[in-house]
A and B are shown apart, each in its own frame.
Chain A
Amino acid sequence: MTDGGLYEAFLGMRPALHRYLQRRGARDDEAEDILQEVLLTLSSGKTGPVSEPGGYLYRMATNHFLIHRRGAVRRARREEDWVGAHTGDPPDLDEAPSAETSLIARQQLAILQSVIDRLPERTRTIFRRFRIEGETRPSIASDLEISISAVEKHLARAYEAITAVRLRLDEDKPLPRHLTIGKDGHGA
């Protein structure tokens, strides 16, 4: 078979992946659905050669989990919009008009740009190489002749700054912990 052991690896790791998804906030049946999608992708043979199946499968499960959660958020917002329209509560608009959307994007870009500009230069370089160029920590470390943990400290600093500013932008829209939300009413 053409999946280079990924399929067998998946079967062996299935219980661990299921536990992982539940710990990420998936319900039992949602975790099952997500694993089924992973299995389907593996079975379609669309996956390329993989050096480390375990990490690859966890990443794949995580991607599917995020896609699921995004869908759940959108559905919940739609329900809230409907309820809002019938109760007089202000609707929580997911899709703003495009002009407004691009204005928000421009504002967010300006904020992100200023966060990046304020990082120390070395931190900025390492973050770019890691996040944009996709280089690994060990390859950045050996190239700059510093330790891997030093690279990690730079990256932590960059992510601290990005997470902090993101928290401020997002205070009004916290992410739900669970995939299925909006069932227990709409607290004022």
Chain B
Amino acid sequence: MGHDVEQVRARAIEWHVRLRDGEAGDWEEFSAWLAEDPRHGEAYDLVEAADLAIEPLLPHVVFREAANDDDIRRGGASARRRWVVGGSLLMASLAAVMILLPRFAADGYEVRTIAGQQRVVTLDAQTRVVLNGATTMRFDRNDPRFASLVEGEALFHVRHDEAHPFTLQVGGNRVQDVGTVFNVVKTRDGIRVAVSEGKVLYNPDAESVALGAGQALVDAAADSEVRVEPVPADAVGAWQQGRFVYTGQPLSQVAADLERSLGIRIAVDHAIAGRAVSGSIALDGDGREAMQIERLEHALDVAITAGTDGWIMKPAAGAQR
């Protein structure tokens, strides 16, 4: 029995070494080995935990080796990074909890994110929708070429099919793709559609406004006409990377974008709500509120106070105007 345990542990160690730079085939074999016996997984957990536990200690360990070993300490820190490939990046999306509500009868379903979270919905192999925070969408199981944006923001990567165009319903409006990556926001103030690749038609059966890459359409609730304006194509959907690019949009829109991504309520003093913002804002994975506030105050030239119910943006102290 004891012999058996030792053999399983030896195998677990072999796997751990092999998988460090293993290929898909190695992992599949490993997965099959785990399935053979629950003790295999237990043994592997222990080896893996031991290796993770020494991670913070390793930088302090002294490796006594012969002096003629020419490559001692070569490139230590950067290489070590590889071990946790993607680890810290992944933390950022970790908080994501989504709510999947089987709300309507047979075929429709609703997907909802809360502020600060994102979620991907896959409609087919080349069509996917990334929901930003505080967003509600509806889909149809029987029709993967249809989606409805009830509220919030989403980025669409759509496979173009002449015979079955992809149609997005936004309130009473329709956006139809002509092969494409586009971003749509719906708030109480109106609708914004921005195209990064390909082309879309806005309300193909009514005014039928064609938008190409690098163009955005604003359908403001307070305005009867839609407006088309230029937008940097690579800025479309940049929120997925925590990046926001503005070319003269009002501060109130900036606040709404940040609200969705940070998951914090942000109110804007009406004296500056209409102020035009140009430039780009990057949110990094650093969730510390004080740091975010400080960076945003600089970027937007405002004063931000954190209250119990969220943030308030006010004119910067000592502002000339």
Contacts and interface: CB of A to CB of B under 8 A. Distances in A.
A156 B49 contact: no
B299 interface: no
Interface stretch (B86-94, B141-149, B170-178): B86-94
Interface stretch (B52-60, B203-211, B261-269, B307-315): B52-60
Contact of A46 (B30, B45, B89): B89
Nearest to A1: B157
Contacts of B51: 131, 159, 162
Interface in A139-167: 152, 155-156, 159-160, 162-163, 166-167
A89 interface: no
Chain B contact residues: over half helix, strand or loop, or mixed?
Answer: helix
Contact of B76 (A46, A54, A108, A133): A133
A124 B65 contact: yes
B7 interface: no
Contact of B9 (A8, A130, A133, A163): A163
Contact of B20 (A108, A130, A160): A130
Interface size class of A (residues with CB under 8 A): 35 or more
Interface string A97-130: 0000000010011001100110001001100111
Interface in A1-48: 1, 7-8, 11, 13, 16, 19-20, 23-25, 36-37, 39-41, 43-47
26 contacts: A16-B28, A19-B35, A20-B31, A20-B34, A24-B34, A25-B41, A54-B23, A54-B27, A58-B22, A58-B27, A60-B86, A63-B84, A63-B86, A112-B58, A117-B64, A121-B65, A124-B63, A131-B83, A132-B58, A137-B21, A155-B13, A156-B14, A159-B47, A162-B51, A166-B53, A177-B42
Interface of A: 1, 7-8, 11, 13, 16, 19-20, 23-25, 36-37, 39-41, 43-47, 52-60, 63-64, 66-67, 71, 105, 108-109, 112-113, 116-117, 121, 124-125, 128-137, 152, 155-156, 159-160, 162-163, 166-167, 170, 175, 177
